[in-house]
Amino acid sequence: MSNSKVAIDVRGASRVFKAPGQEPVAALDNVSVSIKENEFFTLLGPSGCGKTTLLRLIAGFDFPTDGQIMLYGEDIAVLPPYKRPVNTVFQSYALFPHMTVAQNIGFGLEMQGKPKAEIDARVAEMLKLVRMEPMKDRKTSQISGGQQQRVALARALAPKPKVLLLDEPLSALDYKLRKDMQIELKRLQTETGITFIFVTHDQEEALTMSDRIAVMSKGKILQVGSPHDIYDRPAVRFVADFIGETNFLSGAVKSSAKGNSKVKLECGPEIAASSDDGVKSQGNVTVVIRPEHSNLCAAKQGQLKGVLENAVYFGTDTHYHVKLEDGTHFMVRQQNEGGAQKAFAIGALVGIAIDEGTARILRD
């Protein structure tokens, strides 16, 4: 991204709910994040983590009990939704059932008071963009789920908002349709140049579509970064666990310098592990290693040793479950090469080789 102008800047936003006679509940707890212009930004997390709350705060359907929501430098937290140049694609689509597809798409422009000619032109443009031209006079109850999704998109894009918010828009679609729509959405974002803020609980979706991801849990943002950053360099346990499969090994730091440390693992050996620059590692830590960054080998050659408990065949690769010397479970994921492969017997002693530079130290 060449221009790094900030579109949405959330500063210390909190949303606390206080029911009478009960403890206050923080749906959002002091959240800060900067979302850049023309970015496909994803809020990722399990249900209840606050991602939808944050989206609603940006859209205007809820207000922060503390903090600011800045849109290009202006605090929009006090503005009602109809005064914010921000549009939303709802999870349930929320298409107006008594209007046709074309009327739905043109609604925002109508509310803005644009002249009819301009509205018609823009609606035609949008219909073409989402490829719904033949349906334009249909009532929204007469089209399929996938088509409704596209109309919802077109409707939200028509008024040329500064930011588009998408609240788990693909969750109601079946697998194939969802995959198609993911590509479609990515294409739309690049073509229109509008900042997309996308909410999902599906980590695969987040990894494939996003420029940057914010992983959330229990009302807080745990880590923000590119899909690579999030996957290869998880900062905290939750992120490592939520995204993909991970192996967790406990150990104690023996020496540490400029982001590289040597950690003595409880299961035996000492290995090299990296951490964020500037973060000095010390004391007891957890090291994470991705299953695909390890390989099975002869017991003598591996950095880690253990007993092979199970091998699960997945077609493209095989998952080997190894029980290490101190009882910790470790999973190795290896691609199946065609033809003869070194077979490891269940119950045999095996070694695990860790790819260089892939072990990470968690912050917590």
Partner 1 sequence: MADLSKTMDLKRQAGFGTIAVICLIILYAPIIVLMLFSFNSGSQITKFEGLGLSWYASAFQNQEFYSATKNTLIISFTATIFSTIAAVLAAIGTTRVKPWPGMSWAFMIINLPLMVPEIITAVATLSFFALIAGAFGLNFGIGNIIIAHTVFCIPFAYMPIKARLEDMDLTLENAASDLYATPWQAFKRITLPLLMPGIASGTALAFIVSFDDFTITQLVAGPGQTTLPLFIWNQIRKPMTPEINAISTILLMVSILFISVSFLIARSRKT
Partner 2 sequence: MMDAPLSPAAQVAAENDKAVSRRSRLLSLPALFIVFVFGVLPLVLICIYSFLKPYQNGGVVWQFSTDAYLNFLFQRDIFDDTLQFAPDFLIIYGRSIWYALFTTVVCLLLGFPTAYFMATRPPEQRNWWVLLITIPFWSNLLVRTVAIMFIIRDEGLINDMLIYFHVIDKPITMLYTDFAIILGLLYSFLPFMVLPLYSSLEKMDFRLVEAGYDLYASRWQVLRRIIIPLAKPGIVAGSLLVFIPALGAYVPPLILGGGRHLMIGDLIAQQFGSGRNWPLGSAQALILMAAVLVALYFYSRNEAGPVKHG
List residues binding partner 2 (CB under 8 A): 63-67, 75, 77-78
The partner in contact with residue 78, picked from partner 1, partner 2, none with C-beta cut-offs of 5 to 8 angstroms by kind, is partner 2
Nearest residue (CB) to partner 1, 35 versus 86 = 86
Q: Are 320 and 331 within 8 A, CB to CB? A: yes
Query: Does position 78 bind partner 1 by CB under 8 A?
Result: no
Question: Which of residues 82, 175, 316, 343 is near partner 1 by CB under 8 A?
Answer: 82
Question: Which of residues 81, 131, 142, 255 is near partner 1 by CB under 8 A?
Answer: 81
Nearest residue (CB) to partner 2, 65 versus 192 = 65
Nearest residue (CB) to partner 1, 87 versus 286 = 87
Q: Cβ-count burial of 114 within 10 angstroms (0-12 exposed, 13-18 middle, 19+ buried)?
A: middle
> From residue 131, how far is each of 124, 136, 175 by CA, in Å?
10, 10, 20
CB of 61 to partner 1, least distance (A): 6
DSSP string, 254-322: EEEETTEEEEEETTS-EEEEE--TT----SEEEEEE-GGGEEEE-TTT-SEEEEEEEEEE-SSEEEEEE
Query: Does position 94 bind partner 1 by CB under 8 A?
Result: yes
> From residue 205, how far is each of 171, 180, 184, 350 by CA, in Å?
10, 12, 13, 35
Query: Does position 63 bind partner 1 by CB under 8 A?
Result: no
The partner in contact with residue 61, picked from partner 1, partner 2, none with C-beta cut-offs of 5 to 8 angstroms by kind, is partner 1
Query: Does position 107 bind partner 1 by CB under 8 A?
Result: yes
Query: Does position 50 bind partner 1 by CB under 8 A?
Result: no
CB of 161 to partner 2, least distance (A): 20
CB of 73 to partner 1, least distance (A): 21
CA 134, distance to chain mean position in Å, is 34
48: left (phi over 0), alpha (psi -120 to 50) or beta: left
Compute the distance between CA of residue 55 and CA of residue 36 in angstroms, rounded to an integer.
15
Compute the distance between CA of residue 108 and CA of residue 363 in angstroms, rounded to an integer.
46
Helical H runs in 16-167?
A: 51-59, 101-111, 116-129, 145-157
Residue at 85: amino acid letter? P
Question: Which of residues 4, 32, 46, 61 is near partner 1 by CB under 8 A?
Answer: 61
Among 105-113, 228-236, 314-322, 346-354, the segment contacting partner 1 (CB under 8 A): 105-113
Query: Does position 196 bind partner 1 by CB under 8 A?
Result: no
Query: Does position 90 bind partner 1 by CB under 8 A?
Result: yes
Query: Does position 98 bind partner 1 by CB under 8 A?
Result: yes
Q: Which residue has the tokens 């987040």?
A: 206
Residues forming contacts to partner 1 in the complex (CB under 8 A) are: 59-61, 80-82, 86-88, 90, 92, 94-98, 107-108, 111-112, 155-156, 159
